[in-house]
Amino acid sequence: MNVLGLDIKPINVRGADMNKREVILETAVELFAEKGYSHTSMQEIAEGVGISKGSLYSFFTSKEDLIISIYEHYQQLVFERVFIIGLDGDLPPREKLEKQFEVQFEGILHYKAYMKMHLRGETGTNNKKISAMEHRMRGRLFSWLQNSLLELYGEEITAYKWDLMFMTQSIYRTYMMLLVTGQAEAKPAAIGKHIVRQLEVMANDFLNGNSQPILNDEMMQDFIVDMDREGAFVSFEKREQAWKTLYNKLNKLDLPQSSSLKEIANRISEETKKSRPEKVVLKGLFALLKENDEIANESKALEDEILSV
């Protein structure tokens, strides 16, 4: 029995495998970030991990499979937290958006190598699966920005949304790049506020009629299709659906312990953010959640999603 009153069970048998899989992902991401995708050989990655090439191929069926797994792994980690903040109905739109940018920049500090790799963009291009993945990522980002814009300014922003989305995204990307390359050091919260402020200033200039938009729906047809196809922000993964269900329930019930339950949920989100989340901690936190019968089912569902990775 530990302090939380839980029996700590040994991590399941496949634990070792999962770890090695992650070690490979992390090693590969660092090498890709440093030398680029095509200039990093599978041999080098194997050596970096300390295993043989043959073993490497027992975890990932090809180099392409490896890079796609990297994207899937990290993208989930980075974006999930933004999504969760989006679920919080108590936060006013502007603070919410600031917080979401803040969280992204925190993520960047955690996953520097991944971001560096991503910014390089030089993944074995003209590859179908990879560019599909990149499409999907961009779709999510834009879907999120669009949501935020509408929440902030309502329908009247529609005519300017494309210009604002592209400009905001490019500013975001620039500061991300500066952080990742270590050129700039700054508090995530400060950058988050800064970006939202720029967006605000530009949006107001549009709304006051002092600026004319360049982009319009017709030009952006491709993007619209992408955003729709991905179902994008509303619900794009079972795991995030599970988060959403839990939050909805929490908000609806409005229990007296509600705020402490949210705190636990946030701590869970924090833990999953780590590159090596501790299973015991997660299990403990979920046990706490499940003590409340009203949300036990939802908690269980989320736990299954998270621990099954």
Partner DNA sequence: ATGCAAAATGACTATTGAGTCAATTATATT
Partner DNA sequence: AATATAATTGACTCAATAGTCATTTTGCAT
Residues forming contacts to a copy of itself in the complex (CB under 8 A) are: 35-36, 38-39, 120-122, 124-126, 163, 166-167, 169-171, 173-175, 178, 183-186, 190-191, 194, 197-198, 201-202, 205, 210-212, 214-215, 219-220, 222-223
Comparing CB distances to DNA, the nearer of 39 and 229 is 39
Q: Which does 248 bind (CB under 5 to 8 A by kind): a copy of itself, DNA, none?
A: none
Name which of DNA, a copy of itself, none residue 54 binds, using a CB cut-off of 5 to 8 Å depending on partner kind. DNA
Point out which residues bind DNA (CB under 7 A): 17, 20, 38-43, 51-55, 57-58, 61-64
Task: Find the shortest distance in angstroms from Cβ 304 to DNA.
Answer: 23
- Smallest distance from DNA to CB 70, Å: 14
Shortest Cβ 290–a copy of itself spacing (Å): 43
| Residue number, 63 or 161, with CB nearest to DNA | 63
Q: Which does 297 bind (CB under 5 to 8 A by kind): a copy of itself, DNA, none?
A: none
Q: Within 10 Å of residue 7's Cβ, how many Cβ atoms?
A: 8
CB 250 within 8 A of CB 222: no
* Residue 220 binds which of DNA, a copy of itself, none (CB < 5-8 A, kind-dependent): a copy of itself
CA dihedral 186, 190, 236, 277 (to 10 degrees): 50
Distance CA 217, CA 71 (A): 29
The residue among 200 and 270 lying less far from a copy of itself, judged by its C-beta, is 200
CA–CA–CA angle 92, 93, 98 (5° rounding) = 100
Q: Which is nearer to a copy of itself, 98 or 163 (CB)?
A: 163
Closer to a copy of itself at the Cβ: 157 or 171?
A: 171
For DNA, the closer of residues 31 and 268 by Cβ is 31
- H helices of 14-62, in order, are 15-35, 42-49, 53-59
- CB-nearer residue toward DNA: 24 or 113: 24
d(CA 71, CA 121): 12
Among residues 62, 61, 99, the alpha carbon closest in space to that of 82 is found at 99
Instruction: Show the tokens assigned to 96.
Output: 């919410």
Q: How far is the CB of 105 from DNA (least distance, A)?
A: 32
Nearest distance from residue 242's CB to a copy of itself, in Å?
35
Report whether 263 contacts 99 (CB < 8 A): no
CB of 275 to DNA, least distance (A): 21
Rounded Cα gap, residues 278 and 163, in angstroms: 42
Give the closest residue to 87 by CA, choosing from 246, 285, 237. 246
Report yes or no: 264 and 287 within 8 Å, Cβ to Cβ. Answer: no
Residue 294: Cβ within 10 Å count? 13
For residue 185, the partner it binds in a copy of itself, DNA, none, with Cβ less than 5 to 8 A by kind, is a copy of itself
